[in-house]
Structure 1
Amino acid sequence: MQNVWAKRIVAGKSLAVYYLQSEAEKCHNLYGKSSRSKDIKFASHLFLVKENDVFVFGMECIVYKKSNKRTIFVAKVDSSGLGTQAASSSALAASAIETVINAQYEEGAAEVEVTLFAISQSQYLFPESSENGHKHVLSDAGLLHWWVKCLEMVRKDYYPAEEQCSEATVNRNSEDVSAEKKKHMAYMFVPGLPSLRSYLPNSFWKQGTALQEGKAIEMIPRYPDDPKARYLYEIQDQRSEMSVAEFWDTLSFRQECCSGKLVGFYSLSLPKHTVEAVSSRKKNFDFGLVLPPKLYRIIYDSLLKRSFRSLSIASQSTETFLGETIAAIQRVNGFSMDKVVQTIEGNAKPVSSKKRDPEPPQALNVLQPRKKKK
């Protein structure tokens, strides 16, 4: 686990990475009333990165499990804007995703897919952080590029050979791509944009979606705060036979995807046997304390009540949150501080200011805020 993070943190810098998980629960409605929802379980994963006594980055992933397949849904990503260039936010996001991926392979998964949708907003995990004067919010187009950059980092660690997919593959329909190649491809779909040529970095990436066959209500998953979920429920209520392909074609006309902001849908499939996964296996195994679902949600909700509107307030919010969290989880079975937090010393070469991405700590958000339960 250390190497997954250290190689993306600047040498001479160190970051504290906190990692909490929830126990797996039954998930009955991922595919609506379809039988595909049967026997699916999900577990939440929360990463918080601290630098100089303040949270600078956070990510929540939800892992859906059925048999030996895992789908990692990146639910929320945010930065407080208070980092010091020890690592780019995209690098931290890639490291968090890889930590979860490796854990799934350690548990015996044979197939892992990373999926998410991107909507540019100002803040989610760090309330009021857009007011601290340091946070710069990405535009919708900027966020789409940012996620390609992040997922490309992950892709290179697990599948470095780009020549497996020819340039022609990028512009072909998904049904023309062999099943084997689909296992090692990244897909990007933006409703309403006819061409994503400027976004796709190489032949590994394909415009469109991996899923193109079957009935929409039976085959397309419905994730938390999903902009396409309302449409799926309407189709279900109408008992429509709309196909998956027709669903994607008509999604661009929906208010959720045509209100002036670009919405990006991503998926990345990865092979099991990789150098990164094998080299990280032993170190990754003991990181991430597993909590009862109710306790995990209490801790998560408490984070959303903190303020990050200035450095001093954010530092106090970080200290208070961590103090209350550690007190609440000390009696959890298997508790140890090594499972909760690890300090990572960076070994990456600093990027010169001329070559560095114009990417100050930014708001990196992929979802609508989680609604409070009534």
Structure 2
Amino acid sequence: MQDVWSKRIVVGKSLTVYYLQSESEKCHNLFGKSKKSKDFKFASHLFLVKENDVLVFGMECIVYKRLNKSIIFVAKVDSSGLGTHPASSSGLAASAIETVIDTQYKEGAVEVEVTLFAISQGQYLFPESSENGHKRVLSDSGLLHWWVKCLEMIRKDYNPDEEQINEAKEKKSSAEISSPVTDKHLAYMFVPGLPSLRSYLPNSFWKQGTAIQQGKAVDMIPRYPDDPKARYLYELQDQRSEMSVAEFWDTLSFRQECCSGKLVGFYSLILPRRLEKAEFPGNKTSGFGLVLPPKLYRIIYDSLIKHSFRSPSIASQSTKTFLDETIAAIQRVDGFTMEKVAQTIDGNAQPAPPKKREPELSQTLNVLQPRKKKK
């Protein structure tokens, strides 16, 4: 576990990572009334990162599992804006997601999909943090590039670059090369209303569009918490619509959820397991992440989003109060140790050379500008 975080934290700096999970629960409605919803279970994963005495980064993922397939839905990502940037927010997000990916592989997953939708709000996990004077708004292109940058970090860690693919093809027949090598389209990006994403896609592993492209929309497209496309799917379900997946994505840009000034970016990263990396040496996650009863997990989550981060001093006090209350609430859970809950990670990444500052999640995610409807 240490390596996946420390390689993205500047040498000489350290951060404390907190990790809590919920026990698995049955999930009956991920795909509406479709048979695909059967037997799915879900569990929540919460990561919080503290620098000195204040929380600086947070992420919640929800993992949906059935048989040997895991879907990691990135529900919320936020920064308080109060850190000194010993690591980029995109790097911390990638490390958190990779910790969950690694856990899924160790538990027997054959395929893992990371999926999310990006939409702007002033804050997600740290209330009033947009008022503390340290968060600045991302530009439209910054929002798109930030998520591509984050997911591309993950893709590179689990899949070879194109140069490695060419070398592999020279040494082996195509039948001998594992599927991630031959299937370049591992990452998908779709922004309703934007006809071309060419300038945002970094290489041929990325494809403009969505991972789900065939079948009936109400049966094939999942519905996640706070999902801007879910209401549309429920309407189609009530109407017993036969709309196809392709028609759904084509018409989504004209829905109020995606054309009222807040366009949404949809992302998917498909990671089939590569046998030669089955053990993922150096990325050990076993023993980290205390598993809580679902009710207790929700109490802790609800407590977090009630604390203010509107100034450095208030955020520092909120951090102390929240962590003290959380430790008191979980210390009687079976298997509790502080090492399971929190680990201090020392950085070993070399500082990046000075360059033009790139947008980070310490700024508030800005909305995407909608396209103008044709008259």
Cα distance in 2 between the residues matched to 1:190 and 1:361? 23
Structure-1 separation of matches of 2:148 and 2:132: 27
Partner secondary structure for residue 352 of structure 1: coil
Tell me the residue number matched to 1:137: 137
Choose 134-143 or 304-313, whichever is displaced more. Answer: 134-143
Aligned twin of 2:40: 40
User: Which whole-Å CA distance do the structure 1 matches of 2:76 and 2:49 have between them?
Assistant: 14
In the alignment, structure 1 residue 323 sits paired with structure 2 residue 324:
yes
Q: CA deviation at 1:144?
A: 1.3
Identify the residue that residue 239 of structure 2 maps to in structure 1.
Answer: 238
Percent identity reads 80
How far, CA to CA, are the matches of 1:154 and 1:364 in structure 2? 21
CA–CA distance in structure 2, aligned partners of residues 136 and 66 of structure 1? 40
How far off its partner does 1:183 sit?
Answer: 7.9
Cα pair 1:14 1:343 within 8 Å, conserved: yes
Residue 16 of structure 1 corresponds to 16
Shift of 1:286: 0.6
Q: Which amino acid aligns with 1:257?
A: C
* 1:187-198 equivalence runs, <5 A: 187-198=188-199
Q: How many residues align?
A: 353
Q: Is the 8 A contact 1:78 1:365 kept in 2?
A: no
- Secondary structure of residue in 2 paired with 1:65: strand
TM-superposed CA distance for 1:356, in Å, is: 4.7
Identify the residue that residue 310 of structure 1 maps to in structure 2. 311
Relative distance call for 1:240 and 1:260 in structure 2 (3 A) is same
Could you list the per-position Cα deviations for residues 297-329 of structure 1 after superposition, in whole angstroms to 9, with x for gaps in the alignment? 000000000000000000000000000000000
| Letter in structure 2 aligned against 1:338 | E
Shift of 1:279: 1.2
Residue in structure 1 matched with residue 373 of structure 2 by the alignment: none
Q: 1:321 is paired with a residue of what secondary structure?
A: helix
Residue 279 (structure 1) aligns with: 281
Partners of 1:5 and 1:327 lie apart in 2 by: 27
Q: Could you tell me which amino acid in structure 2 is paired with residue 279 of structure 1?
A: P
Matches of residues 1-374 of structure 1 in structure 2 within 5 Å?
Answer: 1-162=1-162, 185-273=186-274, 275=277, 278-280=280-282, 283-354=284-355, 356-359=357-360, 361-364=362-365
- What is the rounded CA distance, in whole Å, between the counterparts of 1:104 and 1:92 in structure 2? 19
Structure 2, unpaired ranges of 5+: 167-178, 368-375
Provide TM-score, normalisation by structure 1: 0.90
For the 8 Å contact 1:190–1:262, the answer to whether it is kept is: yes
Q: Specify every segment of 5 or more residues in structure 1 that has no aligned partner in the other structure, as ranges.
A: 167-178, 367-374
Secondary structure at the counterpart of residue 33 of structure 1: coil
Alpha-carbon spacing, 1:211–1:360, altered in 2? closer, same or farther (3 Å): closer
Q: What is the CA distance between 1:360 and its match in structure 2?
A: 7.4
The 1:300–1:138 alpha-carbon spacing in structure 2 relative to 1, beyond 3 Å, is same
Q: Closer, same or farther in 2 for the Cα pair 1:216/1:184, shift >3 Å?
A: same
Contact 2:103 2:286 in 1 (8 A): yes
Moved over 6 A (4+): none
- Take 2:363 and 2:341, find their aligned partners in 1: how far apart are those partners? 25
> Alignment RMSD, CA only?
1.9
Would you say the 8 A contact 1:123–1:365 is kept in 2?
A: no
SS at match of 1:285: coil
Distance 1:301-1:220 versus aligned 2 partners, 3 A rule: same
Q: Matched residues in 1 for 2:358 and 2:140: separation?
A: 17
Q: 1:369 is matched with which residue?
A: none
Q: Distance in 2 between matches of 1:69 and 1:288?
A: 21
Change (3 A) 1:109 1:296: same
Matched residue of 1:331: which SS? coil
User: How many Å apart are 1:291 and its aligned residue?
Assistant: 0.2
